[in-house]
Structure 1
Amino acid sequence: MSTPRFPKPLRGTVLGISVGLVLGVSISFAVTVYAAKGQDKIPLEQIQTFSQVFAVVKSNYVDPASDKKLMDGAINGMVSALDPHSAYLSPKEFKEMQVLTNGKFGGLGIEVTGDHGVLKVVAPIDGTPAAKVGIKSGDLIVKIDGKVLQGIGLQKTVDMMRGKPGTQVTLTILRPPQPLPLHFTLTRAIIKVQSVRATMLAPGYGYIRISQFQENTGSATRKAVEHLEQEANGHLNGLILDLRNNPGGVLGAGVETADTFLNKGLIVYTKGRTPDSDMRFSAHGPDYLHGAPMIVLINGGSASAAEIVTGALKDDHRALVMGQRSFGKGSVQTVMPLSNGGALKLTTALYYTPAGCSIQSQGIVPNIAVQPANARQRALNADLLNESELHGVLKAPDECSKATPQYTIALPVSATAATQSTQEDEAMAASAVLKPDLAKDYPLHEALAILEGKAVPVQEAKGQTVDTVIPLPKVVGQ
């Protein structure tokens, strides 16, 4: 990872796309072999119980079971009981994970995580087979090619969806509140994602969409800002950074992207049990936007590296954050090779924003909430689109968990019913083309109005809507 400005190498870190596993996206990770230093006392009584259970199962189970099957199952159970992102990788699975990092396979372009025996979609990625057929953040995948996923591990379900480019796979999906399952047939493809797109929304006002964080996303973002400034005759009046449905990616790319808009200050830090788990990443500047106001758009599909960027720009008072609470994936996974050729993917630290707020299971709370007018739809969004709903999720309670938006904008009455159900799809489709459609993308339309200093309809405590000019952060020292 070519990030020489950072104070420590990104050892063993799988970030962002490791909210679960991304099908068809190239990711980067390093591996570090950890010696067993300062081991705690071996729990002999528990080991004796394990040995008894092993012997009873081997002797009495209805079908003969090999020692390898029993031991692999025991290891899997031990690690998977920790949290949704820790996992034991068999030698075969570890090798396949390394293939995954090279991106040389057919995939779907979808970020998933395991939850109660089904796959939960964190986000589809712009321009991929998953996005093209209409897979949505929050969808629950219950069958793959007609096979029920209950009891099948995350890695195996991912293997079922990967395959030769050009071949097809059918996903059966539950999408509350729809009562009947949906069936999508996707054609696998080599996923090549353009992570950064930029355009002018109005004279002097730029728009940058980042669909995921790849190795070159930081430098591509800087070039995008420079290009927009040229189009604006050398000065941008404001910028919208769209991170909706961005599932994350490479940590260094997220840090570089945040640094693009900061002169100084902390970007993110990690805390774990070992000294190697503690890292700090700070901005070095310059701010390529020269202090022009910013708005960051997020939603429940914004995860991990996207949350790191959002948290830094919010806490450093560089940008207003607008949308819905983000996914809340704020844990670091370290891949530790084992002597048998397999590996442990183990959660070793948590991410914290500059203000000391844990991202894990909390997510980033926007300054300006954009909510569906329908209360039932709001409840569904809150239930489906966050890390905290996952079984066995790590909790990191802190004072920041009580944070609430300063302002709330509800979708207008005209954006109910059919429009409301397709609002997010339209926003993502608009952001995938050169110029988004402001008439269809209501959050983007209102974000531009705020940048331009126009009044927007803000809900007050009693439900009344008042046209309000929302103040923008002022960057000191520009």
Structure 2
Amino acid sequence: MRLIRNPLLAATTALVIGIAVGLTTAVEANNETRLPIDEVRLMSQVLERIKQSYVEEVTDEELIEAAIEGMLTGLDPHSDYLTPEDFADLRESTSGEFGGLGIEITLDETGFIRIVSPIDDTPAYKAGIQPGDLITQIDDTPVKGMTISDAVALMRGKPGTDIELTIVRQGENAPLKVEITRDIIKITSIRHRMLEPDFGYIRISSFQERTGNDFEKAIKALNDETENGLKGLVLDLRNNPGGVLQASVAVVDALISEGLIVYTEGRIPNSDSRFVARSSDPSNGVNLVVLINGGSASASEIVAGAIQDHKRGLILGTRSFGKGSVQTILPLSQDHALKLTTARYFTPSGRSIQAQGIVPDIVVRQGSLTQNEVDPFYKESDLSGALDNPNGDDKADTSAEDNAKTEAELAEDDYQLYQALTVLKGISILDASR
């Protein structure tokens, strides 16, 4: 892919974000307006009154940090004040290995912490945490009014220690208590396998720094398992909370040979960027179905939106999360920084996904389908004295029936994936008839 203008932006969802540096100068250069003297004087008076009258002694540092956190929290759910510990956690999350529970979270308008998605094969995933769950209490501490940083600080801890989350889940009559054992989170962002001969599957659980390269390797590995190349590919972005912007661009770049992938717009000049595809197409134009759901956010939506706008494949599942903003890390000193929303991103056709999400081309809700195991019909071969097949075959080709058994298991385990495979097989049959 080619990046036109600023390479310093990063797309984020909650806590997994790309790191951008060097924007401080641009912000300071544009800050030519006078200070709001009256408002600054008012803030100074408030700080002084708190120091003199608050029931407990409080330091200037504590008050200033609380004021900064309050300013950022009042802007949007994704802007935040980063302490040295927060900055270290941020770098760990983008490298693909960090300690914790394995959930992506955001601040809900109710004041509670909402789970965007559990990360595959992590303690939270194995404990049954679901996208959309609201965390109301961490151990014995209510979370209402907490910042994201406060909640993360409580949930992080030594691997092997336990934590209890109280969650509210849609459809449940009472809050649920979920006990989770902390662990080192190692994210394998790419998994791949063959669903059936000639039909491949790639799962991206989050967008990390190496995801683009791993995606191209997965496509090659799947093609190597076929005689004449893949006939169809399912790209699974369900419950993928996002991650590094450049990684999502690289995935789209491996699927298209030309055109705009995504662009960003903001108030400062450095926030405007355009990402354009290279001329190569490692996927060789394979028929494509992309799976999304309400846990697909940010970088996942960039991929789905670009595929949809370029009509490169079909989007199947349910509406995505709807995070269409870009966060930039603005250093304040060696130890502190701001994570500030500086831009919105747009799909190639100019759509903003913010608070809207990606609407699938084919809406399929998750469920299970149990098929009849016994065929109720007699066949000609079952009849006494039936003529032999003139081709001389002792028995009919059972490969299609074997595939049907595999599909039946898939329909029961993962109905959306079953439907994606069905769509791909239909497209493949139409292509062969042309």
TM-score bin, normalised by smaller chain: 0.7 to 0.9
Find 1:446's aligned residue among 408, 416, 419: 419
Question: 1:38: which partner in 2?
Answer: 30
State the superposition RMSD in angstroms.
2.5
Q: 1:100 to 1:203 in 2, by over 3 A?
A: closer
Question: 2:112: which partner in 1?
Answer: 118
- SS at 1:287's partner residue? coil
Q: 1:99 to 1:321 in 2, by over 3 A?
A: closer
User: Residue deviations 1:370-390, cap 9 Å, x none?
Assistant: 247xxxxxxxxxxxxxxxxxx
Find 1:139's aligned residue among 133, 138, 161: 133
User: Residue deviations 1:378-406, cap 9 Å, x none?
Assistant: xxxxxxxxxxxxxxxxxxxxxxxxxxxxx
Find 2:79's aligned residue among 75, 86, 89: 86
Q: 1:178 to 1:20 in 2, by over 3 A?
A: same
User: Residue deviations 1:247-299, cap 9 Å, x none?
Assistant: 11121111111111101111100001111101111111422232232110000
What is the one-letter code of the residue matched to 1:63?
E
Query: In the aligned structure 1, how far is the partner of 2:334 from the partner of 2:282?
Result: 48
What is the one-letter code of the residue matched to 1:439?
E
- SS at 2:185's partner residue? coil
Query: In the aligned structure 1, how far is the partner of 2:86 from the partner of 2:302?
Result: 29
Q: 1:223 to 1:208 in 2, by over 3 A?
A: same
Instruction: State the identity %.
Output: 49
Cα deviation for residue 84 of structure 1 reads: 0.7
Bigger radius of gyration among the two: 2
The residue correspondences of 1:344-423 to structure 2 (distance < 5 A) are 344-371=338-365
What is the one-letter code of the residue matched to 1:49?
L
Question: 1:325: which partner in 2?
Answer: 319
Q: 1:42 to 1:194 in 2, by over 3 A?
A: same
What is the one-letter code of the residue matched to 2:7?
L
Find 1:10's aligned residue among 7, 24, 37: 7
Cα deviation for residue 92 of structure 1 reads: 4.6
Question: 1:66: which partner in 2?
Answer: 59
What is the one-letter code of the residue matched to 2:37?
L
Cα deviation for residue 28 of structure 1 reads: 4.5
Q: 1:90 to 1:207 in 2, by over 3 A?
A: closer
- SS at 1:41's partner residue? coil
Query: In the aligned structure 2, how far is the partner of 1:343 from the partner of 1:268?
Result: 27
Show structure 1 runs of 5+ residues with no match: 373-410, 416-435, 455-468, 473-478
Query: In the aligned structure 2, how far is the partner of 1:96 from the partner of 1:106?
Result: 9
Count matched residues: 390
Q: Contact between 1:105 and 1:163, CA under 8 Å: does it hold in 2?
A: no
The residue correspondences of 1:234-383 to structure 2 (distance < 5 A) are 234-339=228-333, 341-371=335-365
Question: 2:146: which partner in 1?
Answer: 152
Q: Contact between 1:204 and 1:235, CA under 8 Å: does it hold in 2?
A: yes
Question: 2:200: which partner in 1?
Answer: 206
What is the one-letter code of the residue matched to 2:107?
G
Q: 1:452 to 1:145 in 2, by over 3 A?
A: same
Query: In the aligned structure 1, how far is the partner of 2:180 from the partner of 2:241?
Result: 20
Q: Contact between 2:192 and 2:218, CA under 8 Å: does it hold in 1?
A: yes
Query: In the aligned structure 2, how far is the partner of 1:104 from the partner of 1:301?
Result: 21
Q: 1:98 to 1:439 in 2, by over 3 A?
A: closer
Query: In the aligned structure 1, how far is the partner of 2:250 from the partner of 2:333?
Result: 35
What is the one-letter code of the residue matched to 2:419?
E
Relative to the length of structure 1, the TM-score reads 0.76
User: Residue deviations 1:55-114, cap 9 Å, x none?
Assistant: 333333333332222222222111211111111223454455445555664211111111
Relative to the length of structure 2, the TM-score reads 0.83
